[in-house]
């Protein structure tokens, strides 16, 4: 059965200010959705709310993920259920290698499914990690570095995509993964996402710009204005936004 992330009439406040004001969106496994919109429209608020950030208060609406009430879950439970968030600004964790971080994350997921699970054996983990890194065309030495410490912007985003590959979620949210990337790094990250595209992975790409959509071809494009989805369409909608900006949609909304 195909899993879906169903967002229904979602209203979210932060510090008593309304940010999301009745948002509706459904993302299914096997689909790639792009969510575009200007600064302040609520795109990152949506991402953090879906992953359970405590500063974001849901005041109305529902989020159903794979038949479960997502809003009743803690952040780790959301991850274990198959939801993944690639951060716009990944944090560094000195002293923790990328490989160790990934192994601990995988084992936490396994233990959530079966409390008796002893964890992935180290030889199996090493084989899996090398396979994923080869698929993403990453140097194996990358896994031995401390998580995001001293990483360039492109390396941080590649580490996020490696986490996505290793954890094998049902739905992945990429929060402005293109932010701060030069064209070469953007291509590398996009190639990684495309390598992972399958009927088992649904993707929500949050972005300001059409350029990443030249590399990650979406099935659906949505435009967010003032905390709501103001327009939806196919890939051609992103091209129209590139040419005309957002004002024509504002005019329709008014």
Which residues, 6+ apart, have CB-to-CB distance to 125 below 8 Å? Answer: 102, 103, 106
Among residues 140, 120, 119, the alpha carbon closest in space to that of 131 is found at 140
Evaluate whether 20 touches 11 at the Cβ level (below 8 Å): yes
Q: Any residues with CB less than 8 A from the CB of 71 and at least 6 apart, and which? A: 58, 62, 63
In this prediction, residue 188 carries a pLDDT of: 83
Answer yes or no: are the C-beta atoms of 18 and 227 closer than 8 Å: yes
* Contact between residue 48 and residue 56 where contact means Cβ atoms under 8 Å apart: yes
Q: Give the pLDDT confidence score for residue 181 in this predicted structure.
A: 82
Q: Which long-range contacts (CB under 8 A, 24 or more apart) does 69-72 make?
A: 70/5
The answer to whether the CB of 112 falls within 8 A of the CB of 200 is no
Provide the strand spans (E) within 32-161.
Answer: 32-36, 57-65, 68-69, 83-86, 93-97, 146-147
- Write down the pLDDT at residue 180: 78
Provide the residue-wise pLDDT of the chain in tens; the chain has 254 residues. Answer: 788 999 999 999 999 999 999 999 999 999 999 999 988 899 999 999 999 999 999 999 999 999 999 999 999 999 999 999 998 888 999 999 999 999 999 999 999 999 999 999 999 999 999 999 998 888 999 999 999 999 988 889 889 999 999 999 999 999 988 887 888 888 888 998 999 999 999 999 999 888 899 999 999 999 999 999 999 999 999 889 888 888 878 666 55
* Cα–Cα distance, 190 to 86 (Å, whole number): 13
Rounded distance between C-alpha atoms, residue 46 and residue 118, angstroms: 35
Q: What is the pLDDT of residue 131?
A: 94
> Domains, the chain, ranges and CATH?
4-90+167-253 (3.40.50.300)
Instruction: Please report the pLDDT score of residue 245 as a whole number.
Output: 83
Report the candidate in 113, 24, 29 with the shortest Cα–Cα distance to residue 76.
Answer: 113
Contact by Cβ (8 Å): 195, 184 = no
Task: Write down the pLDDT at residue 253.
Answer: 53
- What pLDDT digit, counting tens, does each position of 211-240 carry? 899 999 999 999 999 999 999 999 999 889
């Amino acid at each position: 059965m195909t899993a879906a992330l169903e967002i229904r009439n979602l209203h979210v406040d932060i510090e008593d200010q309304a940010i999301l004001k009745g948002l509706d969106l459904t993302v299914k496994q096997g689909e790639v959705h792009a969510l575009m919109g200007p600064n302040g429209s609520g795109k990152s608020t949506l991402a953090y709310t879906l992953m359970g950030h405590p500063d974001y208060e849901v005041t109305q609406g529902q989020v159903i993920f794979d038949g479960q009430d997502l809003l009743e879950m803690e952040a780790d439970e959301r991850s274990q259920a198959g939801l993944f968030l690639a951060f716009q600004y990944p944090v560094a964790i000195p002293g923790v290698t990328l490989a160790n971080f990934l192994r601990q994350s995988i084992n936490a997921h396994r233990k959530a499914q079966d409390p008796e699970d002893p964890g992935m054996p180290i030889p199996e983990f090493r084989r899996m990690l090398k396979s994923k890194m080869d698929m993403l065309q990453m140097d194996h030495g990358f896994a031995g570095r401390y998580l995001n410490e001293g990483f360039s912007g492109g390396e941080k985003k590649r580490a996020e995509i490696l986490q996505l590959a290793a954890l094998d979620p049902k739905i992945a949210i990429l929060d402005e993964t293109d932010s701060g990337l030069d064209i070469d790094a953007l291509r590398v990250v996009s190639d990684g996402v495309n390598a992972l595209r399958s009927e088992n992975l649904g993707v929500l790409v949050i972005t300001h710009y059409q350029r990443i959509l030249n590399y990650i071809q979406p099935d659906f494009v949505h435009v967010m204005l003032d905390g709501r989805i103001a327009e939806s369409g196919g890939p051609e909608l992103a091209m129209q936004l590139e040419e005309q900006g957002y004002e024509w949609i504002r005019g329709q909304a008014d």
